[in-house]
Structures are given as structure tokens and as C-alpha cells.
Structure 1
Amino acid sequence: MRRQKLLKNVARYVAIGIIALVFLFPLLWMGLSSIKTSLDITDPTRLFRFTPTLDNFVRVMTEAQFGLFMLNSLVVGIAAVGLSLLLAVPAAYVMAKYGMSRSSGMLLVARIIPGVSLLVPFYYVFAMLGWVGGYAPLIISHMFVTMPLIAWVMLSFFESLPSDLEEAGLVDGLTNIGVFARIALPLSTPGIATASILAFIFSWNNFMFALVLASQSTRTLPVAIFNFIAYSSVDWGGLMAASVIITLPVIVMALFTQKYIVSGLTAGATKG
């Protein structure tokens, strides 16, 4: 019996190791390629045996102006998430309190609609307003992604709050707005943190809207990476270094906030 249990544990760990290797090998290859020369990257015999160099990162941050593009991504991401929180959190509370199931279903519809179908209308409207190339169209277009996500996550949180707390607040003389601000909002802090992190990651990785609506000075990181892809050649060293710069902040954020994300997503799973 003990031997059978040991074999099951060994088989489970082997399976987990194989799956982890499959998923982590591309990241490992990207990280190793970012500190190789172009000759070493194209030589399969030098997968692990090579002389590390940081020239790719120096070139990316100086010649390719990745510092500016990183600042653009931060500005757009923080602004889109902040404005989405101001609009989506109260909306989710109202939908949860008054049982607006049809309105909540529209959130899923907004998430299902392909973003590419909105590119032409977005571009036309922003071009008529003279906004194309600035931060405003990027922030507004990213809110199309972040607002439904935040509202859907927060909806389950507000639905799980005991109604007795809200009734007690009303008895003590609070208005509906006071109940929301002083009772519901503080209790839903884990949900707000979870929704904000997920929404920022979606905004950070968004490529399509910035490709069409941004200018050279407002490009975000996912679009700027195309500077290393030419018609007849690819700068693999710069491309891998740029990919590391784009991916590393998201990985670090996920590692440090994973317990908050998990607890936040499961906190609204039960009611009462």
C-alpha cells in the first residue's frame, strides 16, 4: 500500500515536471537568447554553452527608446485601470444590489465582442476628433477591455456581501451612497485589488489598439517590439531582449500578487 502511494506521488511529480518544462522552456529560451549574440542564437549547439552579453539590453534601452515606450504603457495602463475602477465598481454594486441580471449579462457580451471589429469605428471617431496619435484614444480603447473585466469580477463580490450589513447601515442613518462607500467598498478591497491587477495585465499586453491608434511618440511596448522585425531579417537578439523587458514586469507582478489574485477570485464564490 505504501509502495503504491509512493509510485503515485512519483508519477504525479514527473507529470507536473513535464508540463512545467513544456510551458517554461519558451521563457527559458527567450531569457537565454536575450543575453546571446545573433550568431549564438542561430547556432543550436550553443543553447547553453555561450558567453553572456548585455549588449542587446543596452541597445534596446538606448537605440530603440524602450524607456519611452515603457512609460507610455504605464501611463495608458494606470489611466485605463483607474478610470475603469471609477465607473465599473459603482456599476457592479448597483447591478448586484438590484438584481440586474440582464445588465450583468451584457458584460459578457462586451467581453465576447472581438476588439478588431471596433478598430475602424474607433479610428473614425478619434480621427474626426483629432485625437489619433495621443494618449486619449489608447486609454479609452483599453477601457473597453478593462471595464467589463473589473465589473464582472466585482459583481460576484458585491453579491456575496451579507445584506444584513447594508440594512444595518441604513438603520444607522446612512444613505445608499454611504452604505456603498463605508461598508461595501471597504469589504470588497480584495476584489478591487484582483480586478485591478488583471485589468492592468490585459492593458499592458494589448497590441491591437495601440498598433492603429498610437503615434511614434505614444507607442506602447507590444507595438514597439516590431522595430526589431524588418522585411528581410529579424534582429533576434534585440527582439528577445525586448520580449524579456515586456514579459518580466508581468511575471514579477503575478508572482508577488498570486495569493491576492487567488483569494480575490475565490472570495466572491460563495454568498452569505
Structure 2
Amino acid sequence: MRVSSGYRVFRIVAIALLLFIMLMPLAWMVLSSFKTNVQIYDTATVFRFTPTMENYQKVFQQANFGKFMWNSFLVAALSTGISLVLGVPAAYSMSRFVMKRQAVVVLMARVIPGVSLLVPWYYLFSNLRMVGGYGVLILSHMFVALPLILYIMMGFFDGMPTELEEAAQVDGLTPIGAMWHITLPMSTPGIATASILSFIFSWNNFMFALVLSGADTKTLPVAIFDFIGYASIDWGGLMAAASVVTLPIMVIALFFQKYVVTGLTAGAVKG
């Protein structure tokens, strides 16, 4: 009993410490977004200060963050949607027809560092006059989103029994019809997981957008750098802009966490 109580106390302390380490930077960021630059530097006003909306007004009115938010959403949604259309059938085929070599080749894209491809990408897309447009951003984000969707959906399809598809084909459905009417509805948690993780990657991506985007197509992570000057940093505006970038992802993670957990654990036990 004494050991059990000690372990319970240790577990509570460990969880509290972990939550503090994870949430403290977020709390400081949000609090700083309602402060002036003078208050941010003043340690006496960490929790006791008069909130101001000046930083958020600067973000949405002067920095035009509404357009950059739309750019991020457009690129993330289209890259995720196209990757799903291509990746889900490919993952199903690789899983059902045991295409291990092809799967390894595609999944190698997850191992290659993206920074090593930026120079050839920029050279290629600049010759095609695509740099600065939405198309090049969508294609570059698909380079990571597509293998990620393949990786998740292959594990999900591997864990699904084939008896239902075989029974549907006995009843008259074609293999494609069995996949469309039987397998896809059952794989909704996996598709949701792949979609959420792909969207989050695209929303947070900085490196690809920094090199390949233009003045009118840059996304939120790149737009944050507008608050960093050569001689000074607008910490209040920077914290407000970072809060704007972080909030949608936190909402998605909170509301759709059950799909992420279900999709990531599906296919883990097969037998």
C-alpha cells in the first residue's frame, strides 16, 4: 500500500511537471500577445498587467494576416485533398497486392531531408515559372503529405479483414466496388488521421514556403517574420501572430484527437 501511494504521488508530480513544461511556453506566448513591448520586458508584469488588443489589430489590419491565413488554409487543404485522392487507392493496392518493394520506394521520401531538395526544386520550378504561385507550394507539401498518408493507410488496410470484401464480391460487387462500398467506409478513422496529420504538417511548414512562395502567396509561418526587423523585434506583434498560427492547430487536435488515436492504433495488432 505504501509503495502504491508513493507511485501515485510520483505519477501525479511527473504529469504535473510535464504539463508545466509543455504548457508554460504557450501560456507565456498568449499572455505576451496582450502586452506592449515594454510590459514583455518587465518581469514585474508577468501576470499583472492591463491587456491590450493593439497587437492583434496590428496583425490583422496592418500585416494583412487574413490573406496569409487563407493562403495557409488553401495550400493545406488542397495538398491534403489531392494526396488523399492519390494516396488512399495507392495504399489499398499496396496493402492488398503486397507491393512491398514499391511501398519502400515511396516511403523513402519520408526519410529524405526536405532541405536537400529545395535547391533542385527551386531551379526546376523557376524554369517552369511556377515559383511564387500556389501550385508549387501544393506540390512541395504533397512530397511529405503523400508518403505520410500512404504510411498510415497501409497500416490501417493491413489490419482490416478481407472476408467482408470477398463476401461483397460473392454478392456481385467488383473489387473496386467492394473497396468503395465496404472498405472505405470502414477506414474513416484512418483517413481522418491521415488528413489531420497532413493538414497540420502543411499548416506549420516553414522551409518550403520560405523558398518557394511569393509576396502574395506566403503562408502564416513565413508572414510571422515580418515582425522581425534588422535592428529590433516587435515581440508583441510576434506573439500575437504566433498565437494566430497556433490556435487553429490546437482546436483541431482537441476536437479530433479520438480519430487520431483510433487511426494510429488501427492495424497495430493483426492476427
TM exceeding 0.5: yes
CA distance in 2, matches of 1:207, 1:232: 23
Structure 2 residue matching 1:131: 3-state secondary structure: coil
Q: CA deviation at 1:4?
A: 3.6
TM-superposition CA deviations, 1:116-156 (whole Å, max 9, x none): 11111211221122111110000000000100001100001
| Counterpart in the other structure of 1:127 | 126
CA distance in 2, matches of 1:175, 1:125: 42
In structure 2, runs of 5+ residues without a counterpart are none
Q: CA deviation at 1:204?
A: 0.2
| Counterpart in the other structure of 2:233 | 234
| Counterpart in the other structure of 1:205 | 204
CA distance in 1, matches of 2:87, 2:262: 20
**Correspondence 1:8-23 to 2 at 5 A:** 8-23=7-22
Structure 2 residue matching 1:11: 3-state secondary structure: helix
Amino acid at match of 1:10: V
Query: TM-score, length-normalised on structure 2?
Result: 0.97
CA distance in 1, matches of 2:59, 2:26: 19
**Correspondence 1:40-189 to 2 at 5 A:** 40-189=39-188
Amino acid at match of 2:10: A
CA distance in 1, matches of 2:106, 2:261: 22
| Counterpart in the other structure of 2:31 | 32
Amino acid at match of 2:167: A
CA distance in 1, matches of 2:201, 2:104: 21
Q: CA deviation at 1:86?
A: 0.4
TM-superposition CA deviations, 1:36-83 (whole Å, max 9, x none): 000000112211111111110011000000000000000000000000
Amino acid at match of 1:134: G
CA distance in 2, matches of 1:67, 1:186: 35
Structure 2 residue matching 1:270: 3-state secondary structure: coil
CA distance in 2, matches of 1:216, 1:209: 14
CA distance in 2, matches of 1:54, 1:36: 8
TM-superposition CA deviations, 1:184-243 (whole Å, max 9, x none): 111111100110000000000011111111111001000000000011110000000000
CA distance in 2, matches of 1:188, 1:224: 37
Structure 1 residue matching 2:256: 3-state secondary structure: helix
Amino acid at match of 2:77: I
Whether contact under 8 Å (1:157, 1:191) holds in the other structure is: yes
Moved over 6 A (4+): none
| Counterpart in the other structure of 1:224 | 223
RMSD: 1.1
CA distance in 1, matches of 2:182, 2:269: 18
Whether contact under 8 Å (1:36, 1:50) holds in the other structure is: yes
| Counterpart in the other structure of 1:260 | 259
CA distance in 2, matches of 1:263, 1:269: 10
Amino acid at match of 2:174: T
Q: CA deviation at 1:5?
A: 2.4
Structure 2 residue matching 1:110: 3-state secondary structure: helix
Amino acid at match of 1:194: T
Amino acid at match of 1:163: T
CA distance in 2, matches of 1:49, 1:266: 44
Q: CA deviation at 1:268?
A: 2.0
Q: CA deviation at 1:95?
A: 0.4
In structure 1, runs of 5+ residues without a counterpart are none
Amino acid at match of 2:104: G
Q: CA deviation at 1:271?
A: 2.5
CA distance in 2, matches of 1:239, 1:188: 40
Amino acid at match of 2:111: I
